[in-house]
Chain A
Amino acid sequence: MRMRRIGAAAVLALVFVAACDGLPGKPKESDRPLSPWQVKSFTVLFSGNCAGCHGAGGRFGAAYELANPTFQALVDDAALTGIVSQGMAGTAMPPFAHKYGGFLTDAQIGILVDGMRRRWRVGAAPPNAPPLAGGGGDPARGAQVFARSCAPCHGADGEGSPKAPGSIVDPSYLTLVSDDAIRTLIVAGRTDLGHPDWRGYPPGQPLSAQQVADVVAWMAAKRPRFVPGSYARNP
């Protein structure tokens, strides 16, 4: 009688010990603490470093829409890696690579770029698309292009209209965006906020590479040397 009871207790103890591996408290491999440079998950890296400005899921952020398929189709890996590593001169985009004072390793930046391409690039680059980088525009011609293609929404002088409120030639605004940033916006658009890409000015009349360069030059010509304001330093 007693021996049977002891035997039962021993079996129970063994079962308990064996069951321990299935207990909810047992640490999982995924709970293992990681050093910052060991983080390899795109989701973790993107939501930790990019989502603040570019929005959760790369859309509806204050800064540019990374989930825009047209943008992802037009930009190449090297350019994207360069922007993430070194930041984008003339904009608020900061550098993220260790070498430039950021907190990400080159491998992590590779994971970010790769993840963005894989998620948001749909198909190959459309034919006849103007490049995202370039120059050599003419402000005078740009004024004509603007009057035809942009003024319907942004107003005759760029000061905005009920359709697209707010000035795009505001001295402060122009100081805070670089030519490349303006070009990217004109060429790839922002699908989340309703700005068309180069094919939609108006639909059916796509802008040529030269026309894009001209509009950018026209806006760049309006960028002031100094923004007045005695209360803060100029760059």
Chain B
Amino acid sequence: MSLRQIARDVGAWLDHRLGLSGPIIEAAEHPVPRSSASWWYVFGSAAFAVMVLQFITGLCLATVYAPSADRAWQSLLYLNYDQPLGWFIRAMHGWGSNFMIGLVCIHMAQVFLFGAYKYPRELTWVAGVVLLLATLGMAFTGQVLRFDQDAYWGLGIGAAIAGRTPFIGGRVVKMILGGPIIAGETLSRFFTLHVFVIPGLLIAFVGLHLFLVLRLGINEWPMPGRLVKRDTYLAQYHELVSKDGEPFFPFAAQKDLVFIGLIIAALVVTAAVMGPIGPNGEPDPAIIETVPRPDFFFLWLFSVFALLPPWTETFLMLTGPVAAIGLLFLVPFISGTGEKSYRRRPVSVMILVLSFMTIGILIYLGTYSPWSPHMEAWSSVPTPVDYVSGRTPLELQGAVLIQAKQCRNCHALGGQGGMRGPALDRTATRLTPDQIVRQIVQGGGNMPAYGRNLTPAEVNAIVAFLATMHPAHQPPARLAARPQRPEQTDASP
């Protein structure tokens, strides 16, 4: 008997008892509209494939990772440096999470553009939104399990947001942290979420999502002018697939398979080239020389928190996510029928483009955080040599003080330094010496008042230095009410 024969016999024996081959073949060969077997329809299955990969790499990591606050960070370093191929599995898991978020977002944008969420596929969309939230939940909890300084202070940010809840803020914080402060129980809570709760949710809702796709059929390619109506759509769709349908396997599945192969290959190459993500410094809160930043998929939120007007913050932090998620759920109930084609839905296209642009720009801003002081700029970014040479002794002391008093943390010179305040390269063209004194001493426009923190000599030195900060061809600012001195009048044409 050949191997093939044995396999066939075992298969037949199993099928006789399970009786699954019928439904499986039926599902695989269910007819899909010929137009749906398109390269646009491959993102959902690719996201599913990456999720399966995440389960496998996650399982591998769980065999080594120590989910305990005092050991987690060490076990991550062990994975990176000592466990054979541990770095590669960590890289696959970390980059897999980025890939999955990307694919889920593209899939969702495609579904939105093609009107696939409309009648009768509302529930498919709702399950999809749950899957999006679960994916983001996995990303956030995963970032916590990479238990380093960013994870620790990321938890602090989460707690600070929760702590803003009226009346029960303190209790909510303790519920999230599993205690009064970020500690062992916090990590255990997030481990439970990341490894048991959310994966369970993912499996359940992926099942529901796929069941609905099979039951309701894959959305046909949207044709401008072909409107969705509740009483006629089902019959139209049936006619479409029976007249012009093709079996899902292999007609549509072949494109899915090719794309999945490409994505997995890309993921493996990315992991091999880019390596594992983090961990950075050990999660010891006593190390305060740290600049916490979230991973990129939450960087846009980080930017929002910096840019919101402070008086709206608490309200928007607490209601914004609820409203946004609620709106996502309501999409198919707001526009459940009518035009499907993006060619006839300009508002939808605009909403999509605007959302992606907004989030993209916020992420870009978050990567260099112009609103944050650069904590090391004062001691690590030298004064440009041009601003040092040819200065008087007092001006030179002013340049020293610009560094030593941490002005550089918020103000750039020669394009380097903080970006919180304006660059100081042309200060003298904007402000007279008296105005510079007022700005330094009283602050204002988001600058702290330095009046209590600087001596008059220090202020004089800084002002003397800043008064030189104008290009040779451009005279310094002067008070319009004060007549120009003769030598200045002579100099000007």
- Hey, which bits of chain A sit against chain B, CB under 8 A? 17, 20, 23-27, 29, 32-36, 47-56, 60-63, 92-94, 103, 160, 165-168, 170-173, 175-177, 193, 226-229, 231-235
Contact = CB atoms under 8 A, between A and B. Distances in A.
Given A50-B379, A231-B441, A166 B456 contact: no
A52 B455 contact: no
A231 B450 CA distance: 10
Contact of A173 (B91, B272, B388, B393): B393
B465 to A, nearest CB: 9
A27 B400 CA distance: 39
B289 A24 contact: no
Nearest to B460: A172
Given A53-B404, A193-B389, A62 B383 contact: yes
A186 to B, nearest CB: 13
B281 interface: yes
B389 A166 contact: no
A231 B400 contact: no
B403 A62 contact: yes
Contacts of B280: 33
16 contacts: A24-B273, A27-B80, A27-B81, A33-B279, A51-B381, A51-B382, A52-B377, A52-B381, A53-B379, A62-B383, A62-B396, A172-B458, A172-B460, A173-B457, A227-B455, A235-B455
A145 to B, nearest CB: 18
Interface in B292-340: none
Given A32-B77, A52-B380, A62-B388, A232 B441 contact: yes
A53 B400 contact: yes
A201 B93 CA distance: 69
B335 to A, nearest CB: 45
Contact of B376 (A23, A26, A48, A232): A48
Q: How large is the interface on B (under 10, 10 to 19, 20 to 34, 35 or more residues)?
A: 35 or more
B378 to A, nearest CB: 5
B87 A229 contact: no
A49 B380 CA distance: 6
B281 A33 contact: yes
A173 B441 contact: no
Interface string B274-299: 11100111101001010000000000
Given A17-B85, A62-B403, A24 B272 contact: yes
A231 B456 contact: yes
Contacts of B437: 231
Given A49-B379, A62-B383, A166-B391, A176 B457 contact: yes
B404 A193 contact: no
B451 interface: yes
Given A52-B379, A175-B455, 14 more contacts: A20-B272, A23-B273, A26-B275, A49-B379, A52-B382, A62-B387, A63-B403, A92-B405, A166-B394, A227-B455, A227-B460, A229-B456, A232-B451, A232-B455
Given A23-B272, A24-B273, A32 B381 contact: no
A168 B394 CA distance: 8
Nearest to B398: A62
A229 B438 CA distance: 12
Chain B facing A: main interface SS: helix
Greatest chain A CB density within 10 A among B273, B379, B381, B464 is at: B379
B459 A232 contact: yes
A73 to B, nearest CB: 23
A52 B403 contact: yes
Contacts of B455: 175, 227, 232-235
Contacts of A92: 397, 400-401, 404-405
Contacts of A34: 281
A27 B382 contact: no
Interface string B86-99: 01100100000000
B246 interface: no
A173 to B, nearest CB: 4
B383 A33 contact: no
B144 interface: no
A32 B282 contact: no
Contacts of A52: 377-383, 403, 408
Contacts of B394: 166-167, 170, 172-173
Nearest to A190: B396
B456 A170 contact: no
A166 B390 CA distance: 10
A34 B402 CA distance: 30
Nearest to A182: B393
A131 to B, nearest CB: 23
Interface string B155-169: 000000000000000
A227 B456 contact: yes
B456 A172 contact: yes
B238 to A, nearest CB: 45
A56 B385 CA distance: 10
A54 B399 CA distance: 11
A33 to B, nearest CB: 5
Contacts of B272: 20, 23-25
B326 to A, nearest CB: 40
A176 B408 contact: no
B385 A103 contact: no
User: 3 shortest A-B CB distances, which residue pairs?
Assistant: A166-B392, A229-B456, A25-B275
Contacts of A173: 393-394, 397, 457, 461
Given A48-B379, A172-B394, A232-B459, A33 B148 contact: yes
B392 A232 contact: no
Interface string B368-386: 0000000011111111010
Contacts of B80: 27
A229 B464 CA distance: 14
A25 B382 contact: no
B282 A33 contact: yes
Interface in B402-423: 402-405, 408
B452 interface: yes
Contacts of A170: 393-394
Contacts of A55: 382-383, 385, 388
Given A52-B378, A62-B403, A227-B460, A24 B275 contact: yes
A35 B81 contact: no
Nearest to B90: A27
B404 A229 contact: no
B103 interface: no
Contacts of A36: 287, 289
B395 interface: yes
Contacts of B281: 33-35
Given A32-B81, A52-B408, A94-B404, A61 B382 contact: yes
